[in-house]
Structure 1
Amino acid sequence: MRSLKKNSVQVDRNSVIYSGLVILKASLLAVIVTLVGFLIFAVVMKLANLQETIIPPVNQAIRIISIAFGGAVAARSSRTRGWLKGALTGFLYIVWAIAISAIFGGTYAFDTVLLSDALLGIVVGAIGGIIGINLE
């Protein structure tokens, strides 16, 4: 009898294409987590009659948690250079946020706020990547 060999394709986790796909998927997952978080927060705002002054800090917290989560997912999927893949995931998250904001909000100003958002995305994504690579 002949033994049957499974024709499996080995995935090279160190390839640029694999890393790029991991970062893309993680950043999109972070955007989805953000949208779900915003939706839950909107329902809580409506039901609890909270003041509008609470919106900016809660939105920022939701974004930070989402970016860190995306960075951790990217790092766990690739298992190497977690800080770098997390930082790239955070930066790509900001690019997605700008694109979504431009589509639904009309325009987006390229100013110091954008620079601080990009820096926040990179730093928080790197921290999420560091955490994600060390979770086993």
Structure 2
Amino acid sequence: MEHIRRFMPFRIAGPTLSGLWYAYLWMMLGALFLSLLLKWSPLEETSLSTFTYVIHALSLLIGSFVSGKRSERKGWYQGAITGILYAILLFVISFLALDSTFKGGDFFYFIPAFLIGAIGGIFGKNARKN
């Protein structure tokens, strides 16, 4: 880990921003993995939606874990805020990039984002050394 800190000397101090950073980093790595899998396997684009949801859930869980681990107190709260902000940013990106509109059912995606974020924050807070 010390080798990485030598090349990247910055550290995001806020727990929510650092959680979002890690969540989007893992989401980008997952998207890269899926695109390579799509290129070099017989996988069809129509079957990617399940994999996409799994990658979003795992990246959100990792990001909220980091957020909970870096928080001073209330890891579930920091993780849940990370989850909600992750979902909001995904909706904004899809709105701007794909020119899609918001539907009433889209707001139900905030519930799993909140729950996954809260669970990751709880585990992150409990993994912290006091």
TM-score by length of 2: 0.81
For the pair shown, the structure with the greater C-alpha radius of gyration is 1
> Is 1:43 aligned to 2:36, yes or no?
yes
Partner residue in 1 for 2:83: 90
> Is 1:135 aligned to 2:130, yes or no?
no
Correspondences of 1:1-136 after superposition (within 5 Å): 21-112=14-105, 114-136=106-128
Larger deviation, residues 69-78 vs 29-38:
29-38
CA–CA distance in structure 1, aligned partners of residues 25 and 99 of structure 2: 21
TM-score by length of 1: 0.78
- CA deviation profile, 1:62-121 (whole Å, cap 9, x unmatched): 000011111100111114111111001000001111121122111332321x22211111
Unaligned runs of 5+ in 1: 1-17
Partner residue in 1 for 2:9: none
Larger deviation, residues 28-37 vs 69-78:
28-37
Is this contact kept in 2: 1:24–1:92, CA < 8 A?
no
Unaligned runs of 5+ in 2: 1-12
CA 1:68 to 1:133, structure 2 compared with 1: closer, same or farther past 3 Å? Answer: same
- CA deviation profile, 1:24-60 (whole Å, cap 9, x unmatched): 2312331232122111111111101213343011000
CA–CA distance in structure 2, aligned partners of residues 31 and 70 of structure 1: 8
Q: Alignment RMSD, CA only?
A: 1.6
Deviation at 1:130, TM superposition (A): 1.0
Identity %: 27
Q: Which runs of 4+ in 1 moved over 4 A?
A: none
CA–CA distance in structure 1, aligned partners of residues 121 and 76 of structure 2: 5
